[in-house]
């Protein structure tokens, strides 16, 4: 028996941070296109069933947008004899049952929404080679579910010794969560042979004799979801052995890329170094079996250079964001860049100077971890409080702006300190 497993499709959501050159292709790069690829994969692999671990639809008001895509895909699967089993997550707790009900006859033809109203429910699947498996599922009863879905226990196993697969949308090891909090220890102790989880978009499931973990989102729609995304094929042997493998099929991918500026002779070399780094990235991803039509890249310009200030001015004039570079059918675009390169000055020596430049050098070394950790934490927290106060302004609250976390605050502090140090040293005739 062969099963195709996926989670967090989020039909109705559109990709963010696309450049203008790719904005018109948002639909072919987002969840709708990923869903169509998922259906094609199910048909190509002749799977017996498709398992969906929640958040198939993004929001309740995405009913009409998701309806056509979901219906067309499910009808193709049913026609090919592929069953569809799903649980509802916190995003589609109301809309997914409505969609299933709206497509007349789906339930009778092989579509099952497991665990309605937050009660565990099981379904048995039988493959062409005689293999059998029990799929156990639990759906969100509302937009929030603060209680542990495992607390009341699971239904007993059936009389037959067949593998049991748990399908659950949950928040693992997160105390106080409102989204079906469970503990890893509970999952491990439960009478289940594989846990396929949804909710967290970063995949972390580990293939093995007893797979357990997050399947990850079907496609990353913004830079917070980097790396390979897609689905998982689960083979169930007649003897009950489970074999799991990932299939990266997302049409859009996000990556981070470091570009060293060491030895830079002029700022005009930076675009050449950036495109060369993207070339190398493409070669690496292609070797992994790249399926994406577009790859968003977050650049970090690193190393040491005496031309740091000039590089900053060059990038401000000729911003790499907004354009795309094609490679064998895949468009690469820069969605963000950071100038993390340090000046060639000796920060340790500068830090000993009783001057504004010396003060900045000391702060930079502190941010880099060269100093008292408590002093660094105090510096970052003080800045975080000031930034949080700014975010509390009414017009920013209305825009949904969130205060940055400590890591982002440290990055902002370092960027500001480096810019100020460049300006000070240029005034003294020591900079570029």
Residues 149-181: tens digit of each pLDDT: 999 889 988 778 899 999 999 999 998 899 999
Are 362 and 421 part of one and the same domain?
A: yes
| Cβ neighbours of residue 32 closer than 8 Å, sequence gap 6 or more | 11, 69
| Cβ neighbours of residue 222 closer than 8 Å, sequence gap 6 or more | 15, 16, 17, 254
Are 226 and 330 part of one and the same domain?
A: no
Sign of the C-alpha dihedral, residues 381, 386, 392, 398? negative
The pTM score is 0.82
Are 229 and 262 part of one and the same domain?
A: no
Are 217 and 299 part of one and the same domain?
A: no
Mean pLDDT in residue range 272-278: 94
CATH no. for residue 221?
3.60.21.10
Angle at 382 between CA 381 and CA 387, to 5 degrees: 90
- The torsion of the CA quartet 175, 181, 186, 191, rounded to 10 degrees, works out to 180
For 40-81, what is each residue's pLDDT tens digit? 999 999 999 999 999 998 877 667 777 788 888 988 998 999
pLDDT band at 428 (very low <50, low <70, confident <90, very high): low
- Looking at the predicted structure, is the pLDDT value of residue 119 above 90? yes
Which of 221, 248, 275 is the endpoint of a domain?
A: 248
What is the residue range of 268's domain? 251-341
Are 111 and 257 part of one and the same domain?
A: no
Which of 303, 326, 341 is the endpoint of a domain?
A: 341
- Token reading at 105: 């006859």
| DSSP designation for 275 | H
Are 78 and 223 part of one and the same domain?
A: yes
Which one is predicted more confidently, 65 or 278?
A: 278
pLDDT value for 346: 73
- Number of folded domains in the chain? 3
Are 235 and 265 part of one and the same domain?
A: no
Burial per residue of 262-289, b for 16 or more beta-carbon CB atoms within 10 angstroms, e otherwise? eebeebeebeeebeebbeebbeebeeee
Which of 282, 311, 341 is the endpoint of a domain?
A: 341
Are 230 and 263 part of one and the same domain?
A: no
Average pLDDT, whole number, for the chain?
88
Q: DSSP assignment of 39-65, as one string?
A: HHHHHHTT-SEEEEES-SBS-GGGHHH
pLDDT value for 182: 96
Are 399 and 315 part of one and the same domain?
A: no
pLDDT band at 432 (very low <50, low <70, confident <90, very high): very low
Pairing assessment for the beta strands 132-138 and 164-169 based on DSSP bridges: parallel
For 284-326, what is each residue's pLDDT tens digit? 999 999 999 999 999 999 998 888 888 988 898 889 997 888 9
């Amino acid at each position: 028996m062969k099963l195709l497993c996926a989670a967090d499709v989020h039909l109705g959501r559109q990709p963010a941070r696309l450049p203008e050159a790719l904005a018109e292709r948002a639909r072919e790069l987002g969840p709708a296109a990923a869903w169509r690829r998922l259906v094609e994969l199910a048909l190509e692999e002749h799977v017996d069933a498709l398992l969906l671990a929640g958040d198939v639809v993004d929001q309740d008001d995405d009913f009409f947008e998701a309806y056509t895509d979901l219906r067309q895909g499910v009808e193709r699967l049913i026609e090919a004899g592929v069953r569809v089993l799903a649980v509802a997550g916190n995003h589609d707790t109301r809309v997914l049952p409505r969609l299933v009900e709206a497509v007349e006859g789906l339930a009778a033809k092989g579509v099952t929404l497991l665990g309605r109203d937050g009660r565990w429910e099981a379904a048995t699947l039988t493959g062409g080679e005689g293999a059998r498996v029990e799929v156990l599922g639990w759906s969100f009863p509302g937009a929030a579910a603060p209680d542990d879905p495992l607390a009341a226990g699971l239904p007993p196993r059936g009389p037959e010794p067949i593998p049991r697969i748990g399908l659950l949308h949950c928040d693992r090891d997160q105390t106080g969560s409102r989204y079906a909090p469970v503990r890893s220890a509970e999952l491990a102790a439960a009478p289940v042979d594989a846990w396929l989880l949804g909710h967290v978009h970063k995949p972390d499931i580990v293939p093995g004799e007893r797979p357990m973990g997050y399947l990850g989102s079907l496609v990353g729609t913004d830079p917070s979801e980097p790396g390979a995304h897609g689905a998982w094929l689960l083979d169930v042997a007649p003897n009950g052995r489970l074999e799991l493998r990932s299939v990266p099929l997302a049409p859009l991918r996000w990556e981070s890329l470091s570009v060293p500026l060491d030895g830079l002779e002029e700022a005009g070399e930076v675009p050449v170094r950036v495109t060369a780094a993207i070339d190398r990235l493409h070669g690496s991803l292609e070797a992994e079996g790249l399926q994406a039509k577009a790859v968003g890249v977050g650049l970090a310009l690193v190393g040491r250079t005496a031309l740091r200030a000039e590089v900053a001015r060059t990038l401000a004039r000729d911003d790499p964001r907004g354009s795309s570079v094609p490679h064998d059918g895949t468009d690469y675009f820069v969605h963000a860049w950071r100038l993390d390169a340090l000046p060639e000055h000796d920060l340790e020596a500068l830090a000993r100077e009783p001057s504004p430049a010396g003060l900045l050098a000391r702060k930079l070394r502190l941010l880099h971890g060269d100093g008292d950790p408590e002093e660094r934490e105090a510096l970052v927290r003080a800045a975080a409080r000031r930034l949080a106060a700014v975010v509390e302004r009414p017009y920013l609250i209305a825009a949904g702006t969130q205060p940055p976390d400590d890591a982002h605050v440290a990055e902002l502090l370092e960027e500001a300190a480096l810019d100020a140090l460049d300006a000070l040293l240029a005034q003294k005739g020591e900079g570029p």
